[in-house]
Homo-oligomer: A and B are copies of this chain.
């Protein structure tokens, strides 16, 4: 990542433009302060932009050496009430989002110098855009297409007939297998495997007969796929990841799943075959989702939660065992194993009570 140097005033114009003029700031103090990086409040130096997104960190903001802080109006007031500010401020409604855009500008992705490196292995029938970059050790299969400005990292493998969209970055050692299609501006992190066979076998005569997985994986635009995440190709038909989906590391998505647009899934989640996750969902880390079900748009699944059946009503769902000291857990579990018996005993008490002391129903 190479840093640039830009004044706070120019940075605010650049963020406005990048956000489609949805993000505007009011600058308090020196708009001409030159910024060239981002840092935490506590470790920032004069050339850094920092952000204050939680009043919890007001004391850090009071003592920060940052050249500028982005924050909301309420935190600005709190800050100014306690100290004359030495630090320029960019005041806006969404400081975290503004900071995200500003950081994209201050610490831009490394430019992908176009060209196929020595030691890259590109099949003769592959079509590589002249502005794309293929690093050493990468392989690109026959009839694959690599779009404008795309970057295939060291040792990444792109299969035959695969399509890598414009501006998409495939990090070192990621794998996109035959005929899978990746949209524009995606990021595929190292070790991710897109398009392995779905897990399909029919039991017969004491063995498992493989069902060829003839579908593919189709990934939309602006999708990010974490390190060592796996997305299997469809059995028949495709596995589909819609636009704007963000997948963390170590996720498993089985054949024929559909992940709705702008859904975000934290690390270590597993999703079984043919599950259909709605748009705009948030799935917590290590959640495990069964196959052949549907999760309603906008739903939120808690971490470490097993989802055994469809979620038809949008909401926030959770299911994990509460952590206890080991001894207490052992005791709770002993009772849990016999819950039906405990309920029976409560019923018996209720019955005896009724028999012993009949009284009018209330």
Contact status A230-B211, CB under 8 Å: no
Name which residue of chain B comes closest to A348, CB basis.
B350
Distance between Cα atoms of A97 and B332 in the complex (Å) = 37
Query: Which residues on the B side are within 8 Å of A345 (C-beta)?
Result: 346, 350
Contact status B343-A335, CB under 8 Å: yes
Distance between Cα atoms of A317 and B222 in the complex (Å) = 40
Query: Which residues on the B side are within 8 Å of A204 (C-beta)?
Result: 19, 22-23, 94, 97, 100
Name which residue of chain B comes closest to A200, CB basis.
B100
Contact status B190-A196, CB under 8 Å: yes
Contact status B226-A228, CB under 8 Å: no
Query: Which residues on the B side are within 8 Å of A107 (C-beta)?
Result: 212, 214
Distance between Cα atoms of A154 and B249 in the complex (Å) = 23
Contact status B236-A227, CB under 8 Å: no
Contact status A196-B189, CB under 8 Å: yes
A154 and B121 in contact, given A101-B209, A172-B175, A250-B252 (Cβ under 8 angstroms): yes
For chain A, residues 32 to 52, give those with C-beta under 8 angstroms from any C-beta of chain B: 37-40, 43
For chain A, residues 95 to 120, give those with C-beta under 8 angstroms from any C-beta of chain B: 96-97, 99-101, 103-104, 107, 109, 117-119
A64 within 8 A of B: no
Q: How far is the CB of A42 from chain B (nearest CB, A)?
A: 9
A193 and B199 in contact, given A236-B38, A262-B208, A319-B329 (Cβ under 8 angstroms): no
Distance between Cα atoms of A286 and B252 in the complex (Å) = 10
For chain A, residues 174 to 200, give those with C-beta under 8 angstroms from any C-beta of chain B: 175, 177-178, 187, 189-191, 193, 196-197, 199-200
Q: How far is the CB of A236 from chain B (nearest CB, A)?
A: 5
Interface size bracket, A side: 35 or more
A193 and B196 in contact, given A135-B139, A211-B103, A285-B288 (Cβ under 8 angstroms): no
Q: How far is the CB of A263 from chain B (nearest CB, A)?
A: 10
Supply 28 A–B pairs (Cβ within 8 Å), ascending by A. Answer: A37-B214, A43-B237, A94-B204, A100-B200, A100-B201, A100-B204, A103-B211, A104-B210, A119-B139, A139-B172, A155-B157, A159-B172, A171-B177, A172-B175, A191-B193, A196-B227, A227-B232, A272-B303, A285-B288, A286-B288, A286-B306, A306-B321, A308-B320, A308-B322, A308-B323, A346-B349, A349-B349, A352-B353
- List the interface of chain A (C-beta within 8 A of B): 1, 19, 22-23, 37-40, 43, 94, 96-97, 99-101, 103-104, 107, 109, 117-119, 121, 135-139, 141, 153-155, 157, 159, 171-173, 175, 177-178, 187, 189-191, 193, 196-197, 199-212, 214, 222, 224, 226-228, 230, 232, 236-237, 244, 246, 248-250, 252, 254, 262, 264, 266-268, 270, 272, 280, 285-286, 288, 290, 302-308, 315-326, 328-337, 339-340, 342-343, 345-346, 349-350, 352-353, 356-357
Add 20 more A-B contacts to A304-B306, A342-B343 (CB < 8 A).
A19-B204, A99-B202, A101-B209, A103-B214, A118-B121, A137-B155, A155-B155, A173-B175, A191-B228, A199-B226, A201-B246, A201-B264, A208-B246, A226-B230, A230-B267, A232-B249, A288-B303, A306-B320, A308-B322, A336-B336
